[in-house]
Structures are given as C-alpha cells and as structure tokens.
Amino acid sequence: MSLSPSCRANSQNVDFLVHGGDLFHEHKPSKETLIRTEQLLAQHVFGEKTHSFKVAAGRCPVNIKDPNLSIRLPIFVIHGNHDDPGGMENLSNIDILNATKLVNYFGRSDSVEQIEVSPLLFQKGMTKIALYGIGYMKDSSFNLAFEKKRVKFLRPEGSEWFNILVLHQTKERGGTVGYNRRCFVRERTLPDFINLVLWGHEHECIPSLKECPETGSQILYMGSTTITSLIDSEARPKHCFIVTIEGRKMDVLPVPLRRARPFLYGQIELSKCKVPKDDEKAIEVCIVKRIDEMLKTSHHEAGQLPLLRLKVEYSGYQVVNTRKMTTALEGKIANHAKDFIKFYKSPFSSAAAGNRKKDAGKAQAAEGWKEVEDPDKLVLDQLVCIFAFQNAQIDRTEVDGELRGRATGGETVHGRDERGHERQCDGVDQRGLGHSLR
Ligand SMILES: [Mn+2]
C-alpha cells in the first residue's frame, strides 16, 4: 500500500481523506505488513488539530468523535475486492484498522438482497456533504441489486446536500464482446442525485472528471496509488486528488504522486522486427535491444529500481529461452526477473490474420458453427449448462444465486447474507446534524 496520499492530505490541510478500497493487496497480509501499515497510518492520523466541520455517522463509530483521541486526519475507507470481509466472522483486514481507530470503515452491506446505503453527513459552514459508500461486491450482484431495485439510498432532507458516492467495481469497457453484461458496472446504473462518484478498483488513473451523459454525475477514476499489476494502464502517472466543495460548487485538483515506483511498459511484435523465424539468437538480440531502450527512459531515484514488463507478440515464432536475459536484468529491475517478459499471441497480429482466414473456413465446415448473436446469452447458457450437470433439479433462481457467488473469485461469499454484524449501519438514526433521512 502507499500512504503518500495521507502525507499529502496533511500537508494540504484537508478536512478528511476518502479511500476507495483495496487498502491491502492481500487478503491475508503478513504480520509485518499489518504492523508497518498501522505505524505509517498512526504517523499521519494522530495529532493536534481543531476541526471546523461536524460529522454525523449514526451508530457507526467515527474516530474523530472519540473524546479520548486526538485525530489530525480522519480517513474514511470502504473495502475493495482484495480486502473485503470474509471468513466465519465476516471480517475484513480494515476491521483491524477500524478497531484500533486508525481508519473509519464504512460502506459495508451485510446482504446483497437488500442494500441500504446510509450516508455520512458532513457540514462545514453552509456546505453540506452526504458521503455514500458501497464496498466491493461481485459486479453481477451489484448489477442485479440495482436492476431489481434492491438498493435504497437514505437521503437527508433538503436539496442543499452535495452527494458523493464512493464505490469499488469494474467499470464498463467498450468492445468487451463475449462478456456477460453483468460482469461490469455501467456508469448510468448509478442514481442521478449523486453529484460526484469516486470510482475505486480501476487501476488506471484518469486525472480529470468525466461526466456521465445519462445521469449528469461527475465521475473520478482515481486509479491505484501503487502498481499492483504489470499492465499498460499502470504505466501512466499516479495521482491522488484534492476535492474542494463549497456549497454545490466543486473543484478537483490532481496531485501527482512523486514517490510512486516507475513502471516501464513496452510491447513488440516479432513479425515486425524482421528477424528470421528460426534464429533464436537474433530474436534474443531484438528483445534485449528493446529492453535496453526501455531502461534508458527510466528516471528513477537512486535505490528505487523500476518495474519492467515487455509484452512480446510471437505469432509464427518459437518462445525463446529467457534465462540469459533474466540473469542480465538482475539488479536492474524491481520485479522478479521471471515476470519481466510475457509472450502472447494476438488474434489481430499480421501473422495470425493469415492463419485465422484459413482456419475459419475449415472449422465452420466441420462443426456447422454459427455466429453468436447475443454473447450474453452464450455465457449464461454455458453456465446453466455446467450447473445443470451438477444438479439435474436446477431452476433459474438457483442459477442466479450461483452466478452471484461464483462470478469473480476471492474468498468473500461466506455467509455475508445470513450473518448480521455488530457494527451494522442499517437503520441507524442519522439525525446528528438535525436532518432526518428519507
Ligand atoms: Mn480492486
């Protein structure tokens, strides 16, 4: 995890910090990671400060209201898919930080059948903010809950509130043919009374607001603060954001994170490198040359090695032995020398295009293959088919339930529906600022 945003938050004297989930990358972080996290948070969270805003959070404990503590930087955090609650007790790693008053954990729902989203209410002078949080759930469950109108947003009285929603879901990407439409969340799914959406989970940082044309909400894709996947979108500059709200007016300032480790990402297509297909030595020279070029572009500080990933499109070629390159890169890059290179075959490469044309005719003739009209239907039918194998007496309701449980991995589905939780925020009295919720 990176705590540079908390450092920046204090230096900019912000009122509070909002984290969009995945504070931890591992469901079971080591003791050392937990202790270091607590030590780092404690440096920034505790300290003398007179806050000039009021907060109402119902029965949810908020560290800033604890009379025994002096909180300089209140942090409000939802869980992501890497630190969501699970296990017999349905607890998250963030619960540990919440119990030690280092953060304020919110946005947890104990049921995906009926989700009640209760806001934290902030007031400073005439400015009033309602902060809603929805911690990560399977994208299919999220969509289903909205489709079936099982999500209820409790809203404070009055139209003067500036409404912010922080969530942690997969955003819709254009051209995802073959995916079930429930495997990502469309911006227009979210309610239109939300003024600002802080969208977690997406790795790419987009340092400007995006307006959803259907709802009119402004959306901020903050991106990850550290590189956790060696993918293209992680190579772009990392930022945290200072959001200033005055009445209904909002200003968003992207702040570059200078301490983020540099990440060098590159691609080559062997068929375009003009090297003979059977000359392994020439292929290796071509790859090494590209890696050297990438390393030359790195402007990292002394002692901070860059991460490096080169994707090699090798349609029509053999995978070359990378042992020598691995040895040569030791001490030059931060990631494990084994994962610096990734060989892949693109269906759109020039070499693959010829083969595809040839194979398509053969396959269609042999299989009586037809074009898929509706990819959604294909995925669902395939899943129904698999489950039907497991249980001959299956009906649609059970399939939906299974889909919700199995959509995207993780160890998160254990009993969240059945078990209540001590700190549940459902149905709490939110009238701390003199406003009742409707
Ligand atoms: Mn995530």
* Residue 199: both structure tokens together: 């969208």
Residue range 263-344 forms a domain whose CATH class is alpha beta
Q: Which CATH architecture has domain 4-256?
A: 4-Layer Sandwich (3.60)
Residue 221 Cα to ligand 1 midpoint, Å, equals 12
Residue 394 Cα to ligand 1 midpoint, Å, equals 32
Residue 290 Cα to ligand 1 midpoint, Å, equals 31
Residue 204 Cα to ligand 1 midpoint, Å, equals 11
Structural domain boundaries in the chain: 4-256, 263-344, 350-437
Residue 260 Cα to ligand 1 midpoint, Å, equals 18
Instruction: Give the three-class secondary structure for 120.
Output: strand
Determine the Cα–Cα distance for residues 104 and 74; give it in Å rounded to an integer.
7
- β pairing state of 120-124 and 54-56: antiparallel
Helix-, strand-, coil-residue percentages of the chain, each rounded to 5: 30, 20, 50
pLDDT tens for 381-424 read 333 323 333 333 333 333 333 333 333 333 333 333 333 333 33
Q: What is the pTM of this model?
A: 0.72
Determine the Cα–Cα distance for residues 31 and 39; give it in Å rounded to an integer.
12
Residue burial 149-182, b: 16+ Cβ < 10 Å; e: rest: eebebbbbeeeebbbbbbbbbbbbeeeeeeebbb
Instruction: Give the three-class secondary structure for 142.
Output: helix
The catalytic residue positions are 82
pLDDT (tens, 9 = 90+) of the chain, 438 residues, equals 445 566 667 677 899 999 999 999 888 899 999 999 999 999 999 999 999 999 998 777 899 999 999 999 999 999 999 999 998 889 999 999 999 999 999 999 888 889 999 999 999 999 999 999 999 999 999 999 999 999 999 999 999 999 999 999 999 876 555 566 778 899 999 999 999 999 999 999 999 999 999 999 999 999 988 887 888 888 888 899 999 999 999 999 999 987 777 888 998 888 888 888 888 888 888 888 888 888 888 776 767 788 889 998 888 887 788 887 888 788 888 887 668 888 888 777 666 565 555 555 454 444 433 333 333 333 333 333 233 333 333 333 333 333 333 333 333 333 333 333 333 333 333 333 444 444
CA torsion, points 309, 239, 119, 412, in degrees to nearest 10? 10
Instruction: Give the three-class secondary structure for 293.
Output: helix
